[in-house]
């Protein structure tokens, strides 16, 4: 299997800009080109791209990823296994992704189609959670403050009380929590199930960290989100709301 950069971008969900950046920093440089000097990605390149995305999901920088991949002691199997452990620890963001990763015990024996599927799954899941986090950030960055003067003053005072360290911890907890909720939605788990109710309780706890338990601030925050959220986030919102009521 040999793909041009545009074909690889469409098949995996990655952008051409990202692939070119990987090439520029020496992380993924296709060894073949067409007569017109177009990059051609081989199955070996696809295997390396899967390893890059796996390590990136673990939080490694591109420089660290390059060091790991260029280390002769590192094997493709170890990298895939490390990604599997990460997905399991984070409850995964997608049950099908975990199943496919477990099938790929060795990327050396995987077909090009299987590699493309896993890369695409990984990118789709990441993009879905990223879009939801963008909505959350847009509410905070909007010039239309959803809170009145008294509420804004209260929130500033609460932020000082809680501390920047705890604020960052709460912010970092949201992507993981959203991913866990998406897993249960994909599985078709009833909102009244104990697992979903536990997630709903954690959701409410994170909201309370921000609002201090004030229902008026929570209501204004909900309204601000409702105006901006895409359908996929609305579906998750409705799902977790049902769990909170059950």
Residues 6+ apart with CB under 8 A from 147: 155, 217, 220
Residue with tokens 């990327």: 107
Strands 39-41 and 32-33: antiparallel
- Could you read off the pLDDT tens digit of each residue along the chain, which spans 246 residues? 789 999 998 888 888 888 988 998 889 988 787 777 788 999 999 989 988 887 776 666 787 788 888 876 766 667 667 666 666 655 545 555 555 555 566 656 667 777 787 677 667 767 777 777 777 666 655 455 678 889 889 988 888 888 878 887 887 788 878 877 877 887 788 999 998 999 999 999 988 888 888 999 888 888 877 777 777 788 888 899 899 987
Report CA torsion sign: 88, 123, 117, 186.
positive
| Dist. CA 40–CA 52, nearest whole Å | 18
Are residues 221 and 167 part of one domain? yes
Helices (H), 144-193: 149-162, 164-187
- 11 and 114 in a single domain? The answer is yes
**Rounded to whole angstroms, how far apart are CA atoms 196 and 184?**
7
Looking at the structure, tell me whether residues 79 and 163 fall in a common domain.
no
Q: Are residues 91 and 38 in the same domain?
A: yes
Using alpha carbons, select from 64, 67, 69 the residue that is nearest to residue 51. 69
Spatial distance between the Cα atoms of 168 and 212, rounded to a whole number of angstroms: 16
Q: What is the pLDDT of residue 102?
A: 59
Domain that holds residue 8: 3-121
Residue 34 within a domain: yes
110 and 171 fall within a common domain: no
CATH number for 35? 1.10.1660.10
Residue 9 and residue 94 share a domain: yes
| Dihedral angle computed from the Cα positions of residues 62, 60, 130 and 114, in that order, rounded to the nearest 10 degrees | 80
Q: Are residues 117 and 146 in the same domain?
A: no
Confirm whether 83 is domain-assigned.
yes
Same domain, 41 and 81: yes
Say what the pTM is. Answer: 0.49
Together in a domain, 114 and 12: yes
Distance, in Å, from the CA atom of 19 to the CA atom of 135, rounded to the nearest integer, reads 26
Distance separating alpha carbons of residues 207 and 201, to the nearest angstrom: 10
Q: What is the pLDDT of residue 57?
A: 67
Contact 2, 116 (CB under 8 A): no
Token pair listed for 31: 């060894």
User: Looking at the 3D structure of the chain, how many domains does it have?
Assistant: 2
Same domain, 99 and 158: no
> In this predicted structure, what is the pLDDT of residue 148?
85
Instruction: Please check whether residue 133 lies inside any domain of the structure.
Output: no
């Amino acid at each position: 299997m040999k793909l041009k950069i545009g074909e690889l971008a469409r098949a995996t969900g990655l952008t051409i800009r990202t692939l070119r950046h990987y090439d520029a920093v020496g992380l993924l440089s296709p060894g073949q080109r067409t007569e017109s000097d177009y990059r051609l990605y081989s199955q070996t390149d696809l295997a390396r791209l899967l390893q890059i995305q796996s390590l990136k999901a673990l939080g490694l920088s591109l420089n660290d990823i390059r060091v790991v991949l260029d280390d002769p002691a590192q094997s493709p199997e170890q990298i895939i296994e490390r990604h599997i452990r990460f997905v399991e620890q984070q409850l995964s963001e997608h049950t099908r992704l975990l199943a496919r990763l477990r099938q790929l015990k060795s990327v050396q024996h995987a077909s090009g189609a299987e590699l493309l599927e896993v890369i695409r799954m990984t990118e789709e899941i990441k993009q879905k959670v990223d879009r939801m986090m963008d909505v959350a950030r847009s509410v905070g960055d909007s010039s239309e403050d959803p809170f009145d003067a008294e509420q804004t003053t209260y929130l500033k005072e609460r932020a000082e009380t809680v501390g920047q360290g705890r604020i960052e911890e709460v912010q970092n907890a949201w992507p993981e929590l959203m991913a866990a909720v998406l897993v249960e939605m994909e599985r078709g788990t009833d909102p009244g199930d104990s697992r979903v109710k536990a997630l709903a309780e954690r959701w409410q706890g994170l909201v309370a960290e921000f609002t201090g338990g004030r229902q008026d601030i929570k209501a204004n925050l909900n309204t601000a989100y409702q105006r901006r959220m895409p359908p996929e986030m609305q579906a998750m919102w409705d799902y977790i709301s049902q769990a909170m009521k059950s």
